Structure 1
Amino acid sequence: MPQSSGSSVSPDLSQIVKAYDIRGVVPDQWGEPLAEVFGAAFATVTGADAIVVGHDMRPSSPGLSRAFARGAASRGADVTEIGLCSTDELYFASGHLDRPGAMFTASHNPARYNGIKMCRAGAAPIGQDTGLAEIRDLAERWSATGLPAATDEPGTLTSRDVLGEYAGFLRSLVDLSRIRPLKVVVDAGNGMGGHTVPTVLDGLPVDLVPMYFELDGTFPHHEANPLDPKNLVDLQAEVRATGADLGLAFDGDADRCFAVDEHGDPVNPSAVTALVAARELAKNPGGTIIHNLITSRSVPEVVAEHGGIAVRTRVGHSFIKQQMAESGAVFGGEHSAHYYFRDFWNADTGMLAALHLLAALGGQDGPLSALVDSYDRYPASGEINSTVTDQAGRTAAVRAAFTEDEHVTFDELDGLTVTADDWWFNLRPSNTEPLLRLNVEAGDSETVDRIRDRVLAIVRA
């Protein structure tokens, strides 16, 4: 148990307690003593008598996870340790066992980082406004004074392997019984996809070509961040070399999934969102679909064409999950390749989205490129980051520049969105870095380039 530092001055944990999770460099910014304090604070704030804890393959993860479990047990919570798992496997355990959960991972961040993603029972998100601020405040206090004495009846620590149950549950949600044989290359990036994919796909008519399935938190081949195009290069080459039907790339904690088609070309995550939305609406006629404001215009178009209701929201999983719960939405998608399902406790799971993609592709004879073509309708810039110290000032300058344009509308749901008949762009600040993020979409590539260059000239002036 952490001892009192002898100081009444509380440490400032704001550098590692982010908007949605805890993340920082180990051991420079945090380590096992602080993990134990976080565990005690988590159990106290959630008031849970039982919690579930899991971790990824980073070298520091097992020790941090066990320290957290000890801290939670000291406050009387019984802890189920599920060991190595993906983040969506932890969400499954939280939903299936109906108890709060904590996942030790830094997702796609470099090896020296680690963090904690936390949720309440039923995989309900914990963020700054839903408990994380209180957890930080308690952790700051107890880091200065030492943890209180353990309760009279400390909780227990037990182990449970839920991988098989997780895989079986996912497969119960998607009918894969009649798909044609598919050759699928999967790049796990030495992350948790190497742990979950073989079990989830076992027994399916899938010729699996594994890449970097060895669990290695030092990421020896490339960063486990498929958002960066350079980390897709190996997967693209292997798909072309093997004549595969598609390729899948998972991030470090395997909650996000990216796809490339039979040519090795990346599949727009907005197209995946639209495709899965159409499939979910076939099962749930008239259902609501959530999409964030930087997904393609094609998403609400496809939703309307399939009789659904599209609801636009801010970027970020806590907003999506909140809207999912409030609206009873059947599915939600983000352009960052986070996919949320009502059938999965409104939590995000890239693996379930991947199964939908396999079912859609394997249920017809055409290639993936032709399948997604009808869902990928507009040229787009992709997300472009600019380092800016005065985010508000540059955003105001962009708004002023477009104010004189005719037939343009503005909204500030998340940053600044400017919309015309045949184009739109969103400019929003990063929550954690001095960046402005720009996304542009239009009816043709020339217009994308024109609007992109006009906005960037102002942002970077």
Structure 2
Amino acid sequence: MINPNIFKSYDIRGLWPKDINEKNIDQIAKAIASFLIKNLQKEKLTLVLGRDMRFSSPIIFERIKKVFLSYGTTIYDLGLVPTPTVYFSIFRFNADFGIQISASHNPKEYNGIKIAVKDGKKLIKVGKNTGMNEIKERALNNNFIKAKSSFSGQVIEVWDAVDFEIEAAFSDLKINNLKKLKLIVDPANAMGILYFNKLKEKLPLKIEMINDYLDGSFPAHQADPLQFDLWQDLQKKVVEKKADLGIMIDGDADRIFFVDEKGKIVPATLTTSLILEKIFALKPKSKVLIDIRYILNVKNQVKKLGGILSISPVGHALITKQLNEEKAVFAGESSGHYYFEEIGGGESSIRVVLLILQILSEKNKPFSKLKEEVKTAHESGEINFIREENVSPKEILEKVAKNFTDGEISWLDGLSVSYDRLRFNIRASNTEPLLRLNVEGFDKKEVEEKTKKLINLLLSLGLKKH
């Protein structure tokens, strides 16, 4: 019996071996294969397959490989790679789709399967609105397309996937003349190590890594860049070693945050604001996306640089979809995901690293100074509230909205209310029974006061702080 709850909004994810195990992984793989054969209208598929360093990943990897070979699939075996490497390699090999075995930032007990399909120059991430429900139905009901005995697939081993991805990033972004900057990097014993080992070989940088060996038990700490308290060692080391910047990267290396030379974490919206100068220099007057949570800093920078801004809901699959539909060239998300049109709208953390290094090399100013130059608004930081699962988020948000009828209201993703100098967003999490509050404005004191007022209001409606 398969737990139906493993089929999430953006991927398949659960506890190993409670939810995902050697008994049901073949069913899940056959369901994925059947979905793809039917919807791509192809009997013989091409697959790019990668995995992370979790202890269960090699088992899942080999079982998925075996199932797809039985369907006659040509498999490009990338082995151990970050998730963005899979996205990039789909286009490199003109594959029909890619699968990454990873549970991203989740604790060691978890594992998962991310699926992305190529549609011309676009990437379609398989989620609840793009096929996950069909995969779920097929897996739960053993509703599989039968593999033909006459079919036999093949495995092509790929040893240069990360190298090729990095070379393409250098070329696309016109990276050159980087200074001998000093970096402290914490990849949390996870997949980002592969990127920075390659950068050490390629660039005249002083890169010092902590927690720098692959270990699926995450011995130092969980690889979640949004749990900022986990990264205090990195922040201290940046200051102690007088580094130019620090970098923290999540478990499958598709999210990234930076620390300035003073040991302060740089909000993702300021990272986006900084690199927009390079994005628009390469592609003038193009369109970029930012998610609904925080928009003011980026909005100001886009206007200043003569670009076009569009607002998206939260969620990496939704942002990839909107980027492609609107022909945007880049998207920045406040959770540390960054998306590029060259990868079909998929994430690329290494491209963001290279852009930041290029800017620091050219500007010859400290990171903290550059950060302040693009900052026009203050952000509260995300505040989470627990709701009972039987309580409708919509009902709560409608009650909140009645208190702010004097503002401009949007329901794009949850409730957003905007005033001339301040705005806020409250939205339901896509993955947990939580409501998430974000407040921003041009005056720090006003942001703090509005945040307190909203916290008290949400508590009065029966929510509890997470």
Q: Shorter-chain TM-score category?
A: over 0.9
The DSSP-based 3-state class of the residue aligned with 1:32 is coil
Stretch moving more, 439-448 or 181-190: 439-448
CA apart distance, 1:176: 3.2
Deviation at 1:146, TM superposition (A): 8.5
Deviation at 1:188, TM superposition (A): 0.5
Q: Deviations over 1:135-164 (max 9, x none)?
A: 22111122xx88845542132233212122
The 8 Å contact of residues 191 and 224 in structure 1, kept in 2 or not, is answered as yes
The aligned residue for residue 385 of structure 1 is 384
* Residues 149 and 324 of structure 1: CA distance in aligned 2, closer, same or farther (over 3 Å): closer
Q: Which residue of structure 2 aligns with residue 179 of structure 1? A: 178
- The equivalent residue for 1:118 is 115
Matched residues, number:
446
Amino acid across the alignment from 1:107: S
Query: TM-score, normalized by length of structure 2?
Result: 0.92
1:108 to 94, 99, 105: 105
1:137 corresponds to: 137
* Separation of aligned partners in 2, 1:295 and 1:317: 16
Residues of 2 paired with 1:200 and 1:207: CA distance? 10
Q: Where does residue 354 of structure 2 map in the other structure?
A: 355
Aligned to 2:10: 20
Matches within 5 A, 1:327-342: 327-342=326-341
Residue correspondence of structure 1 range 408-447 to structure 2 within 5 A = 408-447=407-446
Deviations 1:80-117 (A, max 9, x none): 21110000011111121121000000001000000011
Return the offset for 1:393: 2.7
Segment of structure 1 superposing worse, 371-380 or 122-131: 122-131
State whether residues 361 and 367 of structure 1, in contact with CA within 8 Å, keep that contact through their aligned partners in structure 2: yes
2:79 pairs, out of 75, 80, 83, with 83
Match of 2:32 among 33, 42, 51: 42
Q: Helix, strand or coil: the match of 1:128?
A: coil
- The Cα offsets for residues 382-436 of structure 1, whole Å up to 9 and x where unpaired, read as 1100011222332222111222xx3x11110000001111110000011222211
284-293 or 171-180, larger mean C-alpha shift = 171-180
Distance in 1 between the 2:50 and 2:173 partners? 25
Offset at residue 201 of structure 1 (A): 4.4
Q: Tell me if structure 2 keeps the 8 A contact 1:95–1:123.
A: no
Contact 1:43 1:77 in 2 (8 A): no
**Alpha-carbon distance in 2 for matches of 1:32, 1:68:** 11
Provide the residue aligned with 2:60 in structure 1: 64
- CA shift for structure 1 position 457: 1.2
Give the match's secondary structure for 1:202: helix
- The residue type equivalent to 2:32 in the other structure is F
| Equivalent in the alignment of 2:287 | 288
> CA shift at 1:194, angstroms?
1.1
Q: Deviations over 1:202-245 (max 9, x none)?
A: 22121001111100111111110111111220110110111000
Is 1:12–1:140's contact at 8 Å kept on the other side of the alignment? yes
Name the aligned partner's letter for residue 137 of structure 1.
Answer: E
Instruction: Check whether the contact 1:40–1:74 (CA below 8 A) recurs between aligned residues.
Output: no
Q: Is the contact made by 2:296 and 2:441 (CA closer than 8 Å) also made in structure 1?
A: no
1:309 counterpart residue number: 308
Q: Tell me, in whole angstroms, the C-alpha distance in 2 between the residues paired with 1:331 and 1:202.
A: 28
- The whole-number CA distance in structure 2 between the counterparts of 1:36 and 1:93 is 24
Measured after TM superposition, the shift of residue 265 of structure 1 is 0.4
RMSD in angstroms over aligned alpha carbons?
A: 1.6
Partner in structure 1 of residue 398 of structure 2: 396
**Aligned pairs (5 A) from 1:366-385:** 366-385=365-384
In structure 1, what is the equivalent of residue 463 of structure 2? none
Unaligned residue ranges in structure 1 (runs of 5+): 1-10
Aligned AA for 1:23? R
Distance 1:325 1:80, change over 3 A: same
Q: Is the 8 A contact 1:361 1:368 kept in 2?
A: yes
In 2, Cα distance between equivalents of 1:200 and 1:92:
18
**Contact 1:188–1:211 (CA<8 Å) still a contact in 2?**
yes
State how far apart, in whole Å, the 2-side matches of 1:333 and 1:251 are. 16
Give the partner amino acid of 1:288: K
Q: What runs of 5+ residues in structure 2 fail to find an aligned partner?
A: 461-466
- C-alpha distance in 2 between matches for 1:44 and 1:151: 15
1: distance between equivalents of 2:230 and 2:356?
21
> Shift in Å at residue 20 of structure 1?
0.7
Q: Secondary structure at the match of 1:196?
A: helix
Shift of 1:52: 1.2
Q: TM-score, normalization: structure 1?
A: 0.93
